[in-house]
Amino acid sequence: LFASISNAWLSGQWDIHQMSHPLPTTLITLALALKIGLAPLHTWMPEVLQGLDLTTGLILSTWQKLAPFCLFLQVQPANATLLLVLGITSTLVGGWGGLNQTQLRKILAYSSIAHLGWMILVLQFSPSLTFLTLLVYFIMTFSLFISFKISNATNINTLATSWAKAPALTSIIPLILLSLGGLPPLTGFLPKWLILQELTKQDLAPLATVAALSALL
């Protein structure tokens, strides 16, 4: 709200496509980053997701991201560096944060932060690639949350004992997890590969290297 009002004040326009002044565009970028949980504005996300049940957590991880992303695609960033910094910070924080966690919902929250970082990195160069990544992320997250809901798992120990209850489901879960981690030849690798390719084309090879290394975590 503050971003849109300051934009109207500075440029006399309420239209999102007319945001030319750097102050409101930076403000709205940071506001949307807070809304979807990009690092360093991510601190609410793991705690909130941990406190929700799996169905609500699924909605927060998927449906909740659509509106901010629609706005992100329409706002032309004033400084391209801001998106790159938000993106690379998110991939690193998402990778580091997921380590040493036993709660599945917190791991998924950090996974969400990392994936959103990848999307934001490539947003200004190839919006269609961001959309593809978002779609693949939605499908993987949906299948993982549903699997956890069926096996009633909220931490790693429960996963270890779910083999006896649902052997077929328990054998699928590692595949979905590896796909979410972006391991070839699984689906999750496709968007990451394309994003790395796009970043290299834009002469951002060092950034692509850091992003790829953060994905290893």
The predicted pLDDT at position 90 comes to 96
Asked if the model's pLDDT at residue 78 lies above 80, the reply is no
Q: Residues near 76 by Cβ (< 8 Å), separated by ≥ 6?
A: 19, 25
What is the token pair recorded at 122? Answer: 């490539």
- How much is the pLDDT for 142? 96
Q: How high is the pLDDT of residue 33? A: 95
How many domains does the structure of the chain reveal? 1
pLDDT one-digit tens code per residue, 87-122: 999 999 999 998 888 999 999 999 999 999 999 999
Question: How far is Cα 24 from Cα 200, in angstroms, rounded to an integer?
Answer: 30
Task: Give the per-residue pLDDT at 30.
Answer: 94
- Closest C-alpha among 124, 84, 122, 145 to residue 198: 122
Cβ-based neighbour number of residue 94 at 10 Å: 27
Model confidence pLDDT, tens digit, residues 3-31: 989 999 998 888 888 888 889 999 999 99
Which residue range forms the structural domain that includes residue 21? 1-216
pLDDT one-digit tens code per residue, 132-172: 999 999 999 999 999 999 988 888 888 888 887 888 888 89
> Average pLDDT of the chain?
92
> Is 0.85 surpassed by the pTM of this model?
yes
Provide the token pair at 75.
């706002």
